[in-house]
Amino acid sequence: MIPEARIILTLLEKKKSREKEGLFVLEGEKLVEEGLDHIKFFIYSQNLPVVVKAKEMGIPGYKVSKEVMEKITSVETPPGIIAVSEIRHWNIENVAKDKNPIILFAIEVQDPGNMGTMIRTVDAVGGSGVIASRGTVDHYNPKVVRSTMGSIFRVPVALSNDVEETINLLKKNNIKIVGTSLSAKKNYWDADLSGPIALLVGNESNGINDEVLKLCDETVKIPMPGHAESLNAAMASSLLLYETLRQRTHK
């Protein structure tokens, strides 16, 4: 196995390696196409159009067998191309700088598919970015990256080491903090989401804890008259984000 393939395997498997090297992995033609401007090198087993484009850009590429692809990929069906991209670092000020920001604040969200979909939905509504608390899944986890469908390159994702400190910083920037709680009295569509806003979505099992809810300017609920106990974090985020978009575009 060539050294480049071993590097990819290590980056796919180990968060510490991604953090140390400042690199992460893109698997498949679409993701590589989205990240071409940030790619350091790639390996491929098929002569895809994106391979030609990458070579024209002068990006180092290495051809390998399908068997090698099968050994290193994290997906069930081996892709024709896998690339290594540089990690982009954002701070909370980057996320909050828009004049009328829409921010999604993920608090200890664990599921990679949820996190990836949340980033993708922020991209879809034209949001400002995502803040991820300590304890939230690594947004450069390969499953998260795949779930973003390329939005990882368009949506700033900043890390928060202290939720209370981050909320206070957002408030100083006149950003309204809205948390979700099953015990809230107001439905989410009855809240004013038209101004600068940060929408808090919590852990899949426990939601947002009471200490954080006390810091919110407002809490809202997503009504569930049926028998389901809860929605997953991605679905809850989508409802809140699209209601925010609706309020801004349909006065």
Examine the domain organization and report whether 145 and 70 are in the same domain.
Answer: no
Examine the domain organization and report whether 242 and 133 are in the same domain.
Answer: yes
Examine the domain organization and report whether 80 and 102 are in the same domain.
Answer: no
Examine the domain organization and report whether 169 and 74 are in the same domain.
Answer: no
Report the chain's mean pLDDT, rounded to a whole number. 94
What pLDDT shows up at residue 5? 94
**CA-wise closest residue to 68 among 4, 11, 25, 14:** 4
pLDDT at 143 over 90: yes
- With cut-offs at 50, 70 and 90, classify the pLDDT of residue 251: low
pLDDT at 64 over 80: yes
Give the amino acid at 240. L
Sequence-separated (6 or more) residues with CB below 8 Å from residue 175: 96, 101, 103, 196, 197, 198
User: What is the domain extent for residue 121?
Assistant: 92-249
In whole angstroms, what is the distance from residue 234 CA to residue 213 CA?
19
Structurally, the chain folds into a number of domains equal to 2
Q: Give the domain-ending residue among 86, 103, 123.
A: 86
Examine the domain organization and report whether 150 and 235 are in the same domain.
Answer: yes
142 and 124 Cβ atoms separated by less than 8 Å: no
Examine the domain organization and report whether 189 and 81 are in the same domain.
Answer: no
Q: What is the CATH number of the domain that holds 66?
A: 3.30.1330.30
Q: Judge if pTM exceeds 0.85.
A: yes
What pLDDT shows up at residue 105? 98
Over residues 125-144, the mean pLDDT reads 96
Helices 112-124 & 233-249 angle (0-180, nearest 10):
10
In whole angstroms, what is the distance from residue 125 CA to residue 210 CA?
29
Examine the domain organization and report whether 230 and 191 are in the same domain.
Answer: yes
Q: Model confidence over 181-195: pLDDT tens digits?
A: 888 999 999 999 999
Examine the domain organization and report whether 150 and 26 are in the same domain.
Answer: no
Q: What is the CATH number of the domain that holds 148?
A: 3.40.1280.10
User: How much of the chain exceeds pLDDT 70, in percent?
Assistant: 100
Q: Model confidence over 202-240: pLDDT tens digits?
A: 987 788 999 999 999 999 999 988 888 778 899 999 999
DSSP β-bridge partners for residue 43? 62, 82
Examine the domain organization and report whether 62 and 117 are in the same domain.
Answer: no
**What are the φ and ψ backbone dihedral angles of 243, each rounded to 5 degrees?**
-70, -40
Over residues 19-45, the mean pLDDT reads 96
In whole angstroms, what is the distance from residue 249 CA to residue 251 CA?
6
- With cut-offs at 50, 70 and 90, classify the pLDDT of residue 134: very high
Examine the domain organization and report whether 80 and 132 are in the same domain.
Answer: no
Q: Give the domain-ending residue among 55, 86, 117.
A: 86
Examine the domain organization and report whether 165 and 78 are in the same domain.
Answer: no
In whole angstroms, what is the distance from residue 137 CA to residue 160 CA?
12
Examine the domain organization and report whether 80 and 149 are in the same domain.
Answer: no
